[in-house]
Chain A
Amino acid sequence: MVSKLISLQEAVALVEDDEMIAMGGNTLSRTPSSFARELVRQGRRGLRLIKTAGAYDIDLLCAAGAVAEIQSGYIGYENVFGMAPSYRHGVESGAVRVVEHACYSVIAGLRASSYGLPSQPINGFDGSDTPALSDFRYIDDPYTGKKVLMIPRIRPDWGVVHVQHADAEGNARIDGGPFEDILISRASEGLIITAERIVETDFFRKKPERTNFPAFMTRAVVHAPGGAAPASCYPTYDIDVDAVAAFLQAAKSPETLRGHLDEWRERDYSGAIKAAGEAK
């Protein structure tokens, strides 16, 4: 067995400045939150982020000035907390460039990459200002002559997903809704998995049809218990509303933001970094 189990710090160190990262999960569900915090601790800059619908992870990276560009359909906290203030500020100040999308066009761009194609046809956007703003272009379908919108390939350097179960080799399973995580894994150059539990490979052999990510596709595995918090990770923990509120306060200044990262450091580093049976 080749163990790909490494520490959160080592996994985040794989990511370089200016690289493109697709973040798994959706709004405040199964967000790779500990990974996002460590990106900030390590001072990553110029990141280009891909997410269909995002909240804490995107907002945190914007608060830290780590982001150059975002392609997404929706960024906001939903109901209780409203819009994402640091994302807003980043875009309104000109620091963060937005490629305006619908969630489905983000999916189309990722599909183009997954299918090994330069672009992907998509329905929609009639009467919308988005194609012109984002430079999405039309072609004539060769069979019917119908005008078809083509979304350019989105090929992230890294896909980062947080899951419930992984083994040290990189097999992994999601419980509950997968969101776009499986597509992200196929579309990205490298896949980094953070997991609530590290299990034996037999866990996957018993039900291979439940394995969402085969080991060969995975570059690194991180044991990250609580790694989605303050977002939820079904069925173990819910959204931590108080912690989200505390973050929104902390994001208002660099000092308090550093405090937020310090506060989460111990939990973020609490995972095992050796597979069971390996020499400690």
Chain B
Amino acid sequence: MNLDLNNDPDAARRAADQMAVCLARELWDGERVFHGVNSPLPMVAIFLARKLHAPHSVLIEVAGSVDPEPEGLPFSTNDPKLCEGAASLFSNADAYDLFSRGGVDLLFLGGAQIDKAGRVNMSYIGDPAQPKVRLPGGGGGSVIMEQARRVVIWRVVHDVRTFVSKLDFVTQTGNLTRIVTPLAVLELIEGGLEIESAHPGVSAVEVAANTGFALDASRKISVTAPPTQDELAALEVIDPEGVRYSEFSALRRVKRWDDEMLRW
């Protein structure tokens, strides 16, 4: 892969900005949107979209509020700061109930393993009875992924460990439309994931080489629209601390203990 996201800070920064704007563009004005815990890029993207093209969207905040206006964005996406400036609280149970009655338009989710059908494993690597890796779990995912109108997944690594032909465990599935990675935007078409666009400087061949299931090589693939000047300027305003960079090991100020262990 030309992009060395683990060691090249500039490449990682460009990828993070590209991913943030791709995710932001998924939120349409007036929609209700939700992100989970441990979701820095979606959180930044939602605040970006609300500043730019989706000012009337409603953010159902996992930290327990509606439409917060915090002073700055925290590194924990479940931080109580994400209740600041909100006119009302709305607990997790409230949010899940809202999903359950079909009241949420867009959900951003992560995924440790993803298959061609867009199903997601957040639970185990290996046999669940004797797992090689116990993953954190899907949070609310196995309920809300099938309740949200649209689901967009983000993942800061695009490799054959993530995009697999067979999941070790199906934690959750349902209503997936797109996946945003540092290399490309994938879309779910007729039950299977295909490349919609490759990011500037990335070839379809590269995307395919880093994807563990087959992609249709005959499809016409566009180049992802790069971040506009307006989008980049707005990103700096809403996220001067660089929360959007925090998922990339090349840009992390502290070395995360599990960066190595996660290479199962």
Q: In A257-274, which residues have CB < 8 Å from any B CB?
A: none
Interface string of A80-111 (1 = CB under 8 A from B): 11111101100110100010111111010000
Evaluate whether A177 and B80 lie within 8 angstroms (CB atoms) in the complex, with A72-B137, A79-B75, A103-B92 already known.
yes
CB of A46 within 8 Å of the partner chain: no
CA of A72 to CA of B133, assembled, Å: 16
CB of A145 within 8 Å of the partner chain: no
Most chain B CB neighbours (cut-off 10 Å) among A127, A129, A232 = A129
Q: In B40-90, which residues have CB < 8 Å from any A CB?
A: 40, 63-65, 75-80, 83, 89
Contacts of B146 in A (CB 8 A): 123-124, 126-127
Segment at the interface with B among A165-173, A178-186, A201-209: A178-186
B92 touches A98 (CB 8 A): no
CA of A102 to CA of B136, assembled, Å: 11
B143 touches A102 (CB 8 A): yes
Among B133, B147, B169, the residue within 8 A (CB) of A88 is: B133
CB of B142 within 8 Å of the partner chain: yes
Among A80, A125, A176, A183, the residue within 8 A (CB) of B93 is: A183
Among A73, A75, A76, A88, the residue within 8 A (CB) of B140 is: A73
Contacts of B141 in A (CB 8 A): 102
Contacts of A122 in B (CB 8 A): 100, 143
Contacts of A75 in B (CB 8 A): 136-137
Q: In B234-264, which residues have CB < 8 Å from any A CB?
A: 246-247, 252, 254, 256-259, 261-262
A82 touches B258 (CB 8 A): yes
Interface string of B132-155 (1 = CB under 8 A from A): 111111111111101100000000
Among B83, B137, B143, the residue within 8 A (CB) of A125 is: B143
CB of A224 within 8 Å of the partner chain: no
Would you call the interface of chain B mostly helix, strand, loop, or mixed?
loop
Evaluate whether A74 and B138 lie within 8 angstroms (CB atoms) in the complex, with A126-B174, A180-B93 already known.
yes
Interface string of A35-77 (1 = CB under 8 A from B): 0000000000000000011000000000000000000111110
Count of A interface residues, CB-CB < 8 Å: 55
CA of A243 to CA of B258, assembled, Å: 18
CB of B37 within 8 Å of the partner chain: yes
Contacts of B91 in A (CB 8 A): 177-180
Closest A residue, CB atoms, query B36: A74
A104 touches B37 (CB 8 A): no
Contacts of B173 in A (CB 8 A): 126-128
Contacts of A7 in B (CB 8 A): none
CB of B123 within 8 Å of the partner chain: yes
Evaluate whether A129 and B64 lie within 8 angstroms (CB atoms) in the complex, with A78-B38, A78-B77, A124-B146 already known.
no
CA of A123 to CA of B77, assembled, Å: 25
Contacts of A79 in B (CB 8 A): 38, 40, 75-77, 246-247
Interface string of B99-114 (1 = CB under 8 A from A): 0100000000000000
Among A76, A80, A130, the residue within 8 A (CB) of B136 is: A76
Interface string of B117-142 (1 = CB under 8 A from A): 00100010000101111111111111
B262 touches A82 (CB 8 A): yes
Segment at the interface with B among A11-19, A21-29, A188-196, A215-223: A21-29
CA of A45 to CA of B29, assembled, Å: 52
Q: Show the binding face of A for B, using Cβ within 8 Å.
A: 26-30, 52-53, 72-76, 78-85, 87-88, 91-92, 94, 98, 100-105, 107, 122-130, 133, 176-180, 183, 232, 234-235, 239, 245, 248
10 interchain pairs, CB-CB under 8 A: A53-B139, A79-B76, A88-B134, A91-B134, A126-B173, A129-B128, A130-B142, A178-B64, A180-B91, A234-B80
**Which 4 residue pairs across A and B have the least CB separation, nearest first?**
A177-B64, A124-B143, A234-B80, A76-B136
